Structure 1
């Protein structure tokens, strides 16, 4: 909340510093709560609704760069509102669009507070790691029925932590895992064992979610993280350190998976879930056939068919973010969403390797968004709270880079 007063004087400085510290702490609490969405509305929505409103009332600024994100998301949500006009039964649909709009505003909020003070990025990721560790432990304990009632943290014999769906639980753990991987690769060796232990907890949570999308996302992002680090660091000694530590981490993860597979329950479900194609993927009206039928139907419905209508027409929901944007947000929403993702990836890549204090966080956010865009072909990432957090992080870093260039035109490399 550093933008409350532009020129603080005298005794106002300590008060403003205190308010700013409290405001940052509340942001960290909001990020922490994003890991606990076992029912809706979740504490995250209730808390963030008040926090976002308070920050903007007290004067949080929106720059041109963050304003571009806001404009794109508002156009996207306009497509969702227009799709409501095609529905005869609106039950639940306006609430769906309202939640979408709220989550879009959280992305803008995160981008604005990151641009306001890049030091908040460290707080955001630390809060995310703590949240991920707790929800991952709940999923692991629930999977093994460690205490009475622990089955609330599982679904269909799959760990879901404090989430409603294992397919959201698993991907939520990826960005904090990358933060830990980055810390291992670039931090002090003395601190590596603790970070590796935390990483193993998150990796086991991802594994026990038995989400193929989460498995692919974790592997893709971890490999890309190492590749980007090798591109960024030019010294032979540092590259050797990265390769050695990466090898150690891989060996530890493989050993952990091998040990877990000694449990018959884990091995049986892994054998089933590890198949690239399940019955509900390729069967009659399976996932891929629904994708084809849905895209063909959308070509005749420029305004879409409305939220949650696809699942009423076909046996299940879209399970594809691109199709979801067509059916729920219409052609306008689809074009806007596609443009937003392409722009985010392209501009983020342009600034990815620049030597900035916020570069590690931009790298983690950018890699994870690229991974989410990829798994979006087989899963619906709409209404994933952490995805909007990632958007805010990347756009906040982009805004920081633009401000850096305005203040110092010679710092473009």
Structure 2
């Protein structure tokens, strides 16, 4: 370092140190997202300080990210209006404060990856690390591998360092999908290095016994392999995807046969694999509450206030669309619906474009699609990783916007608007003409 300081001016050294510190701060925040045993979790406390500090020293919300900010804020304004319909506020102000905080985390992550696309790699690496650690804890807790390991389970299901297995399982979907991407597209000699953490993460998803997590991961895997198959023009690569998919399915069947021999697993799997549980189809079960809630929304356009629905009917809405109607009113519902449609449409346009950040956006997008479907049977408005997904997808949307307008350039390409002054460059080459069949990860700098 001392030799480097003699060769570089102090400004360059300071810039390098600031870059390292900012990257480390982001990594720490992602690592903390995997540990939410109590609330407020360390993630909330840390990210509040980080966002505030970043806002003071360079956080910039660009034009393509403004719609994300407006729609999330308007949704929360709807929640504040709904709060006026309540006789007693109770915990509602705190609930809405958390909602607004999580909205800002989505905008924050979108903004930082737009300004520094290299953060995609660091974010995914940190996310995979957090997922492997919390999955290991969940697996150890389920099998009681050490003293007091059962604290990492709930309802006899793996929960890792989370309060709820139904959040723990979906949290693992993105790192599982990303690791599968690396397995399908990476070099053969590195497959074991990817397969081991992938098995740990998939084991955590399975032992969470969350039907939503199973379906979410299944949808993400199908979408991912389908897109990889369609975007490649190489018969060899397509054959690899088909062969590895068949091998993965065979391995899954074998693993299921082995796991079902473990006492307790078979009974839990039989119980959880039912499409509708007793609490779903009962007289005032989940499905009946959906009908009651949507009828109530027609009578109460401003909503009834956060957390009130559960006090009236004994259970929460367990449906993000009904949740927004009840807790955020029609303003919140329209804002959330608009955000969902915008994200799906704008993100879809990025899927087959060769960009250095495309692998990360692709993985985040297919998992986000799964979360949209999952929201029909569970509340996702306070899932921390859901807002990270939003930020990752919108960061890609913003980068594409800037690239199309010549505000950034990729090595070996000419900006669309050559007269723009000094466009930023992203250190990753685009594939040469006719090499679309290459793994998109080969476009990312070495070491990722």
3-state SS of 1:353 partner: coil
Deviation at 1:266, TM superposition (A): 0.4
Residue in 1 that maps onto 2:63 = 64
CA RMSD of superposed structures (Å): 1.4
Post-superposition offset of 1:57: 0.5
In structure 2, C-alpha distance between the alignment counterparts of 1:230 and 1:12, rounded to whole Å: 47
Deviation at 1:258, TM superposition (A): 1.8
Deviation at 1:11, TM superposition (A): 2.1
Match of 1:409 in 2: 416
1:123: which partner in 2? Answer: 122
1:5-404 alignment to 2 at 5 Å?
10-404=9-403
Counterparts of 1:316 and 1:257, CA distance in 2? 33
Q: Which moved more, 1:89-98 or 1:195-204?
A: 195-204
Q: Deviations over 1:357-398 (max 9, x none)?
A: 011111111101110000111111110000000000000000
Point out where structure 2 has 5 or more consecutive residues left out of the alignment. Answer: 1-7, 407-414, 418-429, 431-435, 437-448
Cα drift, residue 10 of structure 1: 4.5
Inter-partner Cα distance in structure 2 for 1:80 and 1:191: 48
Separation of aligned partners in 1, 2:319 and 2:151: 27
| Structure 1 stretches of 4+ moved >3 Å | 408-411
2:377 match: secondary structure: coil
SS at 1:319's partner residue? coil
Deviation by residue 1:279-318 (Cα, 9 ceiling, x = unmatched): 1111110010001101110111111111110110112100
Partner Cα distance (1:409, 1:373) in 2: 34
Q: State the 1:194 CA deviation.
A: 2.1
User: Contact 1:203/1:253 (CA < 8 Å) preserved in 2?
Assistant: no
Q: Over residues 34-66 of structure 1, what are the superposed CA-to-partner deviations in whole Å (9 max), with x where a residue is unaligned?
A: 010010010101111111111111012110011
Encode CA deviations 1:83-134: one digit per residue, 9 max, x unaligned: 1101111111000000000000000000000100111001001100000001
Contact 1:196/1:249 (CA < 8 Å) preserved in 2?
no
CA distance in 2, matches of 1:96, 1:185: 41
How much does 1:254 deviate?
A: 2.4
| TM-score for both structures, normalised by structure 1 | 0.96
**CA distances 1:197-240 after superposition (whole Å, capped 9, x unpaired):** 21111111111111111111111111111001011111101111
Q: What displacement does 1:68 show?
A: 1.6
Once the two structures are TM-superposed, the CA of residue 193 in structure 1 deviates from its matched residue by 1.5
TM-score of the pair, normalised by structure 2: 0.88
Match of residue 4 from structure 1: none
Structure 1 position 250, deviation (Å): 2.2
Distance in 1 (CA, whole Å) between partners of 2:271 and 2:67 is 44
Counting matched residue pairs gives 404
How far apart are the structure 1 equivalents of 2:247 and 2:117?
32
Measured in 2, the distance between the counterparts of 1:255 and 1:19 equals 49
Q: How far apart are residue 324 of structure 1 and its match?
A: 0.5
Per-residue CA deviations over 1:333-364 (Å, capped at 9, x if unaligned) read 00000010111001100121101001111111
SS in 2 for 1:394: helix
Q: Give the distance between the partners of 2:223 and 2:386, measured in 1 at CA.
A: 18
Q: Once the 2 structures are TM-superposed, how far is the Cα of residue 71 of structure 1 from its aligned partner?
A: 1.0
Deviation at 1:248, TM superposition (A): 2.0
Q: Aligned partners of 1:251, 1:359: CA distance in 2, in Å?
A: 29
Distance in 2 separating the partners of 1:378 and 1:278: 12
Matched residue of 2:264: which SS? helix
2:32 and 2:250 map into 1 onto residues whose CA distance is 32
- 1:153 is displaced (CA, Å) by 0.8
Question: Does the 8 A contact of 1:76 with 1:336 survive in 2?
Answer: yes
Report the alpha carbon displacement of residue 247 of structure 1 after superposing the two structures with TM.
2.0
Distance 2:187 2:232 in 1: 16
Say whether the 8 Å CA contact 1:158–1:208 is kept in structure 2.
yes
Equivalent-residue separation in structure 1 for 2:32 and 2:389 (angstroms) = 15
